[in-house]
Amino acid sequence: MQRKKAIFFTLLFICFIWSGCQKKESASEKPIKIGYMICNSLPESKSRFEPISAYLQEKLERPIESIYINTANVEDAVQKKEVDFTHTNSILYVIFKEKYNAALIAGEVRGRYKNYDAGTIISRKGSGITKLSDIKGKSMIFGPALAPLGYLSQYDLMLKNGIDPEEDLAFYNIPWGAYKHEKVIYGVLFGAFDVGAAPRIDVDHMVNEGKINLDDFNIISENDPIPYCTFAAMAHVEPELVTKVTDLLLNITQEETALVDGEVLKVLQSVWVERFVEVQDKEYDSIRKMLKNCNMSPYEEY
């Protein structure tokens, strides 16, 4: 009888240990979820960011799940803890920091202002609209309402110069669908709107691709550059993993590759950046001031 009891408790102890090991192994295999804000379109975003996910998966030796989310829905995913890391614009990072205690990981270097960019207000050459005061009574097209350089910076700049977009414009509009910043620029070029709000990086990108000629436009204002695309970690992610992901991003070189759907791709080239860089939260204070001035989340007052 004693022998049977000893065997029973030995087997019970082995099962307990085995179960604990299984749970530990399962936790290590739990996918790391990266929420990527969809930029111009879903196909373009996937082609850009899948190499980053594949690279991190290889280096961390843990599965990575890429989740592509429309700009307006990213906060909902963060609130529900459906993502562990995010790649978004700088407005969303500020919201996540203020409301959910997200941690800043990295900025990306791309374009003339490195990891910053400027918001422009443009008009068509020959329109007679060459300075800010000329836009009163005119029609205007903005980028997405949560765009730091296609909406916020221009709205803020107008308010600071005594122009109330709600009162002083004839009307304004925000385009639907994909490629919103391109739609803004084309909307001005083809005369659908008198002026438009677009990131300088998008203007430059379209010029470089031969889609537009800069000589066809007046850049009637441009704000001081502010932080743009940002990687962040959510508060529930273990600090050790945050450190590992941060170090990997900051140390990716131009030669690093990742295997995506059987194709070897250069990671930074695929994501359109020169490199990822360390940034400080205080660099986003300029965005916080704009959000407060424009009465926008997370500082809106009613």
Per-residue pLDDT of the chain (302 residues; tens, 9 = 90+): 455 444 444 444 444 444 444 444 445 679 999 999 999 999 999 999 999 999 999 999 999 999 999 999 999 999 999 999 999 999 999 999 999 999 999 999 999 999 999 999 999 999 999 999 999 999 999 999 999 999 999 999 999 999 999 999 999 999 999 999 999 999 999 999 999 999 999 999 999 999 999 999 999 999 999 999 999 999 999 999 999 999 999 999 999 999 999 999 999 999 999 999 999 999 999 999 999 999 999 999 98
End-to-end CA distance of the chain: 76
Within-domain flag for 81: yes
Question: What was the pLDDT predicted at 9?
Answer: 44
Domain termination residue (choose one: 203, 223, 243): 223
Domain termination residue (choose one: 184, 204, 223): 223
What is the distance between the alpha carbons of residues 205 and 8, in angstroms, rounded to a whole number? 71
Within this chain, do residues 129 and 100 fall inside the same structural domain, yes or no?
no
CA geometry: angle at 155 spanning 153 and 160, to 5°? 90
Within-domain flag for 5: no
Within-domain flag for 88: yes
The whole domain housing 36 covers: 31-111+227-293
Within this chain, do residues 106 and 231 fall inside the same structural domain, yes or no?
yes
Question: What was the pLDDT predicted at 27?
Answer: 52
Q: Which of 302, 244, 268 is nearest to 105 (CA)?
A: 244
Within this chain, do residues 208 and 237 fall inside the same structural domain, yes or no?
no
Q: What is the 3-state secondary structure (H, E, C) of 195-257?
A: EEEEEHHHHHHHHHCCCCCHHHEEEEEECCCEECCEEEECCCCCHHHHHHHHHHHHCCCCCCE
75, two tokens: 């906060």
Question: pTM, whole model, 2 decimals?
Answer: 0.89
Within-domain flag for 272: yes
Within-domain flag for 65: yes
Within-domain flag for 298: no
Q: What is the CATH number of the domain that holds 249?
A: 3.40.190.10
Domain termination residue (choose one: 189, 204, 223): 223
Within this chain, do residues 218 and 232 fall inside the same structural domain, yes or no?
no
Count of residues in the chain: 302
Within this chain, do residues 92 and 130 fall inside the same structural domain, yes or no?
no
Place of tokens 């170090």: 247
Within-domain flag for 20: no
Within this chain, do residues 232 and 219 fall inside the same structural domain, yes or no?
no
Within-domain flag for 193: yes
What lies within 8 Å, CB to CB, of 195 at 6+ separation is 121, 122, 123, 129, 135, 138, 139, 140, 141, 188, 220
